[in-house]
Amino acid sequence: MVSVLSRIFGMHNLEMAEDVVQEAFIKAMNEWAFRGIPDNPSGWLMRVARNQAIDMIRRQKHTTEFSPDISPLLKSEYTIGTIEQFFLDSEIEDSQLRMIFACCHPDLEPEVQIAFTLKNISGLSTPEIAKALLSTDEAIQKRLYRAKNLIKEKNIQLDIPAGNQLSARLETVLSIIYLIFNEGYNSSQEDMLIRNELCVEAVRLAYILSNHPLGRSPSTFALLALMCFHSSRFASRVDEKGEIVLLGEQNREGWDKELIQLGFSFLNQSADGDKLSPYHIEAAIAAEHCHAENIEATNWETLLQLYNLLLQHKDTPIVRLNRAVITNKINGPQIAIEEILEIKNLEKLLKTNYIFSAVLGELYMQLHNNEKAIGYLSLAQKLTSSNLEKSLIQSKINSLGNKDNAGKLN
């Protein structure tokens, strides 16, 4: 809705688009409470937004400059027909594509581009964006405020670039879709491990790109493959009691075979050209897990080689942490711990991201160092916002036979 309305109003009137969307949701809250949820809720919201946009343009068409390329039409007598065409399915997709590339405008700093797109394309909250970017709520709010100001100052338009400009922006676009999927794959919400709607949205956006001549690149197909492989395991990641099931304990018969096949199909399409992106390597890692019949059949040596290759393209703390998990399978927990302790800025990461202390806690459990294991696990439990993850960590603490200490962590 924001994408379509911004296409009509112009990026410089982004707040106007956000106001219309907010009004549509307020109207839905009021009407649906009495009449019930309509058969097509999204269609209902779009119709309301369209009608409110028409009313706003009628009231302000002589005082407000809207989107430069359609402003003359909006000020004519054909306003209704002009607006309605932007709410057709093909135009909605085009508006979203334009919005993604506009949010990735080079006049915006890279970290601002990502935060702004996560907010305005996929509606992530400030805490969700902060988690995705390993940042703070305050820092993200500042980025969003700076983005809106720069859009007005630079007069940034909803354009899809061409040539070299397209290639530069496409890389950022893919990284944003990747982050959207990650938030859905491991949600920061309290009572939801997986946010299917975000994962579906990420796949849908990547698929739109893959069907557009300007976005049909090997990296796009590699990212699609990666998301399909990960999505295939969703039904097995949480059991009937709503508790997390770790990879080694998942029933692989429950993995979605069609999604796995689709993933391999996209992976084959990604083989065109001579560029190797991080998405290719991560997709190959996920494919290796999908290929193994069980956890014992996993080729850990191959995975280690893939992580070594990934580090050459994407040397981040998370990649190094994941590599250490693979190292543990081959060389044991002590070597894995030593690798983690060498991660740059680990002290800060241990205070802000639960996954680092959670992994260290698990590794110290394997070494039967209960004191350090409980220390790291308790830290992880305090940092995560997910009740499912808190419960999983609590069960690990309880398994150490130190329930007295564990009870104090709640």
C-alpha–C-alpha distance, residues 55 and 162, integer Å: 35
* pLDDT reading at 28 higher than 50: yes
* pLDDT reading at 79 higher than 70: no
Residues ≥6 apart with Cβ < 8 Å to 72? none
* pLDDT reading at 192 higher than 80: no
Residue-level pLDDT at 77 = 59
Looking at the chain, the whole-number percentage of residues with pLDDT higher than 90 is: 48
Residue-level pLDDT at 78 = 56
Residue-level pLDDT at 396 = 94
pLDDT (tens digit per residue) in 231-247: 999 989 988 877 888 89
Higher pLDDT pick, 8 / 323: 323
pLDDT (tens digit per residue) in 380-401: 999 998 888 999 999 999 998 7
Residue-level pLDDT at 74 = 66
pLDDT (tens digit per residue) in 85-125: 777 777 777 888 888 888 888 888 888 888 888 888 777 78
Residue-level pLDDT at 75 = 62
Mean pLDDT of the chain: 87
Q: What is the 3-state secondary structure (H, E, C) of the chain?
A: CHHHHHHHHCHHHHHHHHHHHHHHHHHHHHHHHHHCCCCCHHHHHHHHHHHHHHHHHHHHCCCCCCCCCCHHHHCCCCHHHHHHHCCCHHHHHHHHHHHHHHHCCCCCCHHHHHHHHHHHCCCCCHHHHHHHCCCCHHHHHHHHHHHHHHHHHHCCCCCCCCHHHHHHHHHHHHHHHHHHHHHHHCCCCCCCCCCHHHHHHHHHHHHHHHCCCCCCCHHHHHHHHHHHHHHCCHHHCECCCCCECCHHHCCHHHCCHHHHHHHHHHHHHCCCCCCCCHHHHHHHHHHHHHHCCCHHHCCHHHHHHHHHHHHHHCCCHHHHHHHHHHHHHHHCHHHHHHHHHCCCCHHHHHHHCHHHHHHHHHHHHHCCCHHHHHHHHHHHHHHCCCHHHHHHHHHHHHHCCCHHHHHCCC
Residue-level pLDDT at 405 = 47
* pLDDT reading at 83 higher than 80: no
- Cβ atoms of residues 219 and 261 within 8 Å: no
C-alpha–C-alpha distance, residues 174 and 153, integer Å: 26
Residue-level pLDDT at 99 = 85
C-alpha–C-alpha distance, residues 119 and 4, integer Å: 15
Average pLDDT over residues 254-258: 94
pLDDT (tens digit per residue) in 361-381: 999 999 999 999 999 999 999
Q: What are the φ/ψ torsions at residue 182 (nearest 5 degrees)?
A: -60, -40
Residue-level pLDDT at 188 = 67
Residue 273's pLDDT band, with cuts at 50, 70 and 90, is confident
Residue 175's pLDDT band, with cuts at 50, 70 and 90, is confident
Query: In Å, how far are 33, 66, 95, 165, 177 from 101, measured between CA atoms?
Result: 37, 19, 10, 10, 12
Residue-level pLDDT at 7 = 85
* pLDDT reading at 406 higher than 60: no
Higher pLDDT pick, 62 / 355: 355
* pLDDT reading at 251 higher than 50: yes
C-alpha–C-alpha distance, residues 407 and 277, integer Å: 46
The residue with tokens 């969003």 is 144
Residue 81's pLDDT band, with cuts at 50, 70 and 90, is low
Residues ≥6 apart with Cβ < 8 Å to 108? 116, 147, 150, 151, 156
Q: Taking the CA atoms of 402, 408, 409 and 410 in sequence, report the sign of the dihedral they define.
A: positive
Residue-level pLDDT at 39 = 92
**Single-letter residue type at 219:** S
28 CB burial (10 A radius; 0-12, 13-18, 19+): middle
Residue 27's pLDDT band, with cuts at 50, 70 and 90, is very high
Residue-level pLDDT at 86 = 76
The pair of three-digit structure tokens given for residue 233, joined into one six-digit string = 């395991």
- Cβ atoms of residues 102 and 116 within 8 Å: no
Residue-level pLDDT at 408 = 40
**Single-letter residue type at 54:** I
Nearest 5°: the CA angle 229, 231, 234 is: 125
pLDDT (tens digit per residue) in 46-78: 999 988 888 888 888 767 777 766 666 666 655
C-alpha–C-alpha distance, residues 140 and 121, integer Å: 16
Higher pLDDT pick, 193 / 410: 193
Residue-level pLDDT at 73 = 67
The pair of three-digit structure tokens given for residue 372, joined into one six-digit string = 């350090």
Residue-level pLDDT at 23 = 94
